[in-house]
Amino acid sequence: MLQTLGQQIRLSRILNPATRRGFCIAFDHALQLGTCPGMEHPEQMLDNMNEAGVDAVILPLGSALHYGPRLVQNGGPALILRLDQTTMWREGTALSYEDGHSRLVACVEDAVALGAEAVITYMFVGHNDPAVETASFRANADVNQAARRLGIVHIIETMGARHALAPDIHDGDFVSFHARIGMEMGADIIKTDWPGSADALKRITKQLPVPIMLAGGPKTNSDFGTLEMVSTIIGAGAAGILFGRSVFQSDDPLALMKACRAVIHDSKTAQDAADLVGMRP
């Protein structure tokens, strides 16, 4: 992987150099959804992440400015700065659009000033309006150029545009399609959707020369179900997870985070990790 020394150093703080695995939490939902359950006490949740050994956390600019000092006091997790805002997750509400729209609201220079290890941007594919997709690609190209120049990791979150051209956003071939495009756009890490099966994920992780990390989506029916999904993801060759609501909306997020870390970094089975924290299936 052709990266600057700065990118290599920063990547090593997100993915363990020995295992090439990382346990990261997405905590940027308020930028997209406003008030969000599970985010009422951000500093407490950041404390939990540090205690559980989470490697990195995604924060938007405002949270990084207001709550980032907690990361310094605790000595972690590392900061991944969310640079863009999207309306994609408003589907099914009175505030939704036919196409989700994304726009940059921060820049790579902000991330450098804040001490972030990485920046993350959405790259939605398959909009009804091709101009919307074009704007997303241009924004990602600009961010990637700046990230390479400034030596910071660029995570591209490739996903299918909701309620647009793709009939099934979790189709393995479709996820493979946009994940490959994200790699070709210069991503250091790809964050993407679950591609429908472990076999489909294995094909993606084997084909692409960059680490693949999975998004979590909405809260699952049980913490053990989330843990089993993490185990499946790691078993399929992914570098780790960038889960959000399925973790921080848990009834016991600290226990779930500790169990997830055991699966990702200690290669525990879901059951063994659950037993470590007293989680019942």
- 123-153 tens-digit pLDDT: 999 999 999 999 999 999 999 999 999 999 9
CA distance 144 to 185: 8
Domain segments of the chain: what residues?
5-216+233-244
Choose among 66, 64, 52: nearest CA to 241: 52
CA distance 120 to 122: 7
Place of tokens 């993350």: 120
Per-residue pLDDT of the chain (281 residues; tens, 9 = 90+): 578 899 999 999 999 998 899 999 999 999 999 988 999 999 999 999 999 999 999 999 999 999 999 999 999 999 999 999 999 988 778 888 888 899 999 999 999 999 999 999 999 999 999 999 999 999 999 999 999 999 999 999 999 998 889 999 999 999 999 999 999 999 999 999 999 999 999 999 999 999 999 999 766 789 999 999 999 999 999 999 999 999 999 999 999 999 999 999 999 999 999 999 999 87
Q: What does pLDDT average to over the chain?
A: 95
What is the SS3 assignment for 188?
coil
Q: 200 is written with which tokens?
A: 């489909």
Choose among 80, 72, 87: nearest CA to 111: 80
Q: How many CB atoms lie within 10 A of CB 182?
A: 28
Superfamily of domain covering 5-216+233-244: Aldolase class I (3.20.20.70)
Burial call 99-119: b when 16+ CB within 10 Å, e when fewer: bbbbeeebbbebbbebebbbb
